[in-house]
Amino acid sequence: MDRLAQRLFRNPTARPEHRPPVLGCLGCLPRLILVVLLGSVLVLAITAVFAPWGFFMGGKFNLFAYWQGWGALQGKNGKYVVFVRFYPRPSGSRLYPHPSVRGVGYLCSSRGEIFRMNLGGGMRRGIGTNTDGEKIDLYMDYWPAFFGNMGTEHRPAIELRGQWKNPGIVMDDHGSISRAFAPDGTVYQKDQTAHIPYPGEIVPATLVPGSYSDFEHACKGTK
């Protein structure tokens, strides 16, 4: 007798053992993909209603409603390179209750060290779908990809201010590079910033559409 026949012979009321499906978790994959797709469609629908400008950042329609690019900042203490990728945040934020953006940034120091940054920013109220000429502010602070310690210092932090000049953004750092980094390219600690004048050296930057690989290539030239 097989196992099932033996169990039924000993106990006629016994139920057959439940055997997991042969595919295991692979059977859940189509449903998982469907959930992800529906979630993405919902996000895009909300963006279309509350932040339609998000599809036209940089003057070119983007179905996925985001903009990414990079730029170099050449100051007295060396060259810094920044990469940004951001998308609309229709609900706004505490710092920017008007149209705002959020995303991720990467900052390459004059030493060639790359910092992953948390990005936020905003624009004026009443912005239309044409962003050209509109002012935009971006702020970024250090935020590791695998952030486990809530007490970690979020240095360096920088700020970029400027306006859209489609397809890119013309900005300056409002002195934030000189307040975040020492002349040798190391990050200032909290107790080292008291003597730094405000706003300090203001460094211009033009962000152009581009990929992370473009940023990496430019970063190699800072060493």
Distance CA 55, CA 38 (A): 19
pLDDT for 110-141, tens place per residue? 999 999 999 999 999 888 899 999 999 999 99
- Inter-CA distances, 17 with 9, 21, 90, 195, Å: 14, 12, 51, 74
Residues 44 and 70 in one domain: no
Residues 166 and 131 in one domain: yes
| Rounded (10°) CA dihedral 173, 176, 182, 183 | 30
Residues 97 and 177 in one domain: yes
pTM of the model: 0.79
Backbone angles phi, psi at 116, to 5 degrees: -80, 130
CB 121 within 8 A of CB 137: yes
Q: Which residue has the tokens 């002349």?
A: 183
pLDDT below 70 — which residues of the chain? 1-27, 36-41, 43, 90-97, 147-152, 194, 223
Which letter does DSSP use for residue 54 in this model?
G
Structural domain harbouring 82 = 52-220
Residues 8 and 111 in one domain: no
Angle (CA) 74-78-83 rounded to 5° is 55
Residues 5 and 90 in one domain: no
How many domains, the chain? Answer: 2
Distance CA 97, CA 123 (A): 10
Tell me whether the omega of the peptide bond preceding residue 144 falls within 30 degrees of 0, making it cis: no
Residues 80 and 38 in one domain: no
pLDDT at 198: 81
Residues 43 and 64 in one domain: no
pLDDT at 27: 61
pLDDT at 152: 67
Residues 106 and 138 in one domain: yes
